[in-house]
């Protein structure tokens, strides 16, 4: 297996302006040029700390492939990944582009890392499927004409599905990339609302309804917002000491910021509401 290696020269461009995607770096090629991703390589990038957690979306993806008539062994090839010089090889799968796409689509929608994987593989699947298809049979023969017609229908159906997913996911990926490429990545609520095309009051109300943040009163009587401990990695606050004319000493004011991972979390919550789940 030593002749299978990443091919940086042929990696596709990233979906957003921030540069090469980390999923590109994990892309590998077989001797025949077919690309694949190791499931264990994708595990941390999709936000799963344990292999057993990734097995759930993997098994769902394989079931979906099997139910739609896809070749499971071709798209989810079993393999073993050696973790060291001793012990048996760890369970792993070599995922085709379609296999990785199905795995991402069956992942936890609340994980921002899964949302990023969905956006990446949806765009890559569409790019691959818009490439001219190779028909091995002679289209001048009845068999070749039939094969061409079937291939056309299959690709057209895939493109309809992929286009729908790209229209849904590309805006999310673009917003996510703009956050990541900004200095520090953190945004005020009004800045995040503008990026999403929302009003600031609308976004604040949504965050409160989702129990991600809450409103509290300052000692001086003003109103400010803070985040709950659960989604703490997705938000941040900055303290500013303010002097008031009618109050002795200084008053601490806290400004709420949304981190890049917070934007993906918000988008996942929006999708969940839209789908009624």
Give residue-wise pLDDT tens across range 12-23: 333 333 345 788
Backbone angles phi, psi at 101, to 5 degrees: -60, -45
* Cα separation, 215 vs 61, whole angstroms: 41
Same domain, 66 and 45: yes
Q: Please report whether residue 72 resides in a domain.
A: yes
134 and 249 part of one domain: no
Question: Same structural domain for residues 104 and 200?
Answer: no
Please check whether residue 261 lies inside any domain of the structure.
yes
- Same-domain check for residues 63 and 154: yes
Percent of the chain exceeding pLDDT 70 equals 74
Do 165 and 218 share a domain, yes or no? no
Give per-residue pLDDT as tens, 141-191. 777 777 777 777 777 777 777 667 656 665 555 555 554 444 456 888 998
Sign, CA torsion 264/14/78/50: negative
Residue 1 lies in a domain: no
Tally of CB atoms within 10 A around 231? 18
- pLDDT tens, position by position, 47-103: 898 999 999 999 999 998 898 888 999 999 998 765 555 556 789 999 998 999 999
How far is Cα 92 from Cα 20, in angstroms, rounded to an integer? 25
Residue that is last in its domain, among 112, 147, 181: 181
pLDDT of residue 18: 37
Which residue segment(s) compose the domain that 149 sits in? 8-181
Cα→Cα distances 6→98, 110, 116, 222, 247, Å: 18, 30, 21, 56, 64
Q: What is the pTM of this model?
A: 0.43
Query: For 32, which DSSP code?
Result: T
Q: Three-class SS string for 39-65?
A: HHHHHHHCCCCCHHHHHHHHHHHHHHH
Decide if 3 is inside a domain: no
Answer whether 89's CB lies under 8 Å from 82's CB: yes
The domain boundary residue, chosen from 181, 200, 228: 181
Banded model confidence at residue 1, pLDDT cuts 50, 70, 90: very low
Range name among 30-39, 77-86, 116-125, 198-207 with the lowest pLDDT average: 77-86
Name the domain boundary from 117, 151, 181: 181
Q: Residue 240's beta-bridge partner residues?
A: 253
- Contact indicator for 189, 223 with CB cutoff of 8 Å: no
Domain count, the chain: 2
Q: Supply the DSSP symbol for 270.
A: H
Does the residue 249 lie in any domain?
yes
**pLDDT at res. 230:** 77
Same domain, 191 and 170: no
| 45 and 149 co-located in one domain | yes
pLDDT tens-digit readout, 108-138: 888 888 888 888 888 877 776 665 555 455 6
- Locate all alpha helices (DSSP H) within 92-210, ordered by sequence: 97-105, 112-129, 142-181, 189-196, 200-209
Same-domain check for residues 83 and 144: yes
pLDDT on residue 273: 79
In a domain, 73, yes or no: yes
Both 50 and 107 in one domain: the answer is yes
Please identify which residue in the block is written with the tokens 């799968």.
Answer: 93
Distance between CA atoms of residues 256 and 242, nearest Å: 16
Contact 92, 120 (CB under 8 A): no
């Amino acid at each position: 297996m030593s002749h299978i290696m990443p091919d940086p020269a042929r990696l596709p461009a990233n979906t957003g302006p921030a540069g090469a995607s980390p999923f590109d770096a994990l892309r590998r090629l077989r001797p025949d040029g077919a690309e694949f991703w190791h499931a264990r390589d994708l595990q941390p990038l999709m936000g799963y700390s344990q292999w057993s957690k990734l097995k759930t979306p993997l098994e769902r993806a394989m079931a979906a492939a099997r139910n739609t008539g896809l070749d499971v062994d071709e798209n989810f090839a079993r393999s073993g990944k050696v973790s060291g010089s001793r012990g048996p090889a760890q369970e792993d799968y070599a995922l085709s582009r379609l296999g990785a796409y199905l795995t991402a689509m069956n992942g936890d929608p609340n994980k921002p890392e899964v949302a990023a994987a969905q956006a990446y593989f949806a765009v890559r699947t569409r790019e691959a499927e818009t490439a001219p298809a190779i028909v091995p049979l002679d289209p001048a023969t009845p068999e070749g004409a039939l094969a061409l017609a079937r291939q056309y229908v299959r690709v057209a159906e895939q493109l309809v599905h992929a286009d729908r997913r790209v229209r849904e996911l590309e805006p999310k990926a673009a917003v996510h990339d703009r956050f990541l490429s900004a200095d520090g990545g953190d945004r005020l609520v009004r800045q995040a609302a503008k990026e999403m095309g929302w009003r600031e009051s609308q976004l604040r109300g949504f965050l409160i309804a989702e129990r991600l943040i809450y409103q509290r009163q300052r000692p001086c009587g003003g109103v400010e917002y803070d985040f709950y401990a659960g989604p703490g990695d997705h938000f941040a606050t900055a303290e500013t000491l303010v002097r008031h004319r009618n109050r002795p000493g200084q008053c601490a004011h806290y400004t709420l910021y949304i981190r890049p991972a917070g934007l993906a979390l918000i988008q996942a919550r929006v999708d969940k509401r839209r789908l009624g789940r």
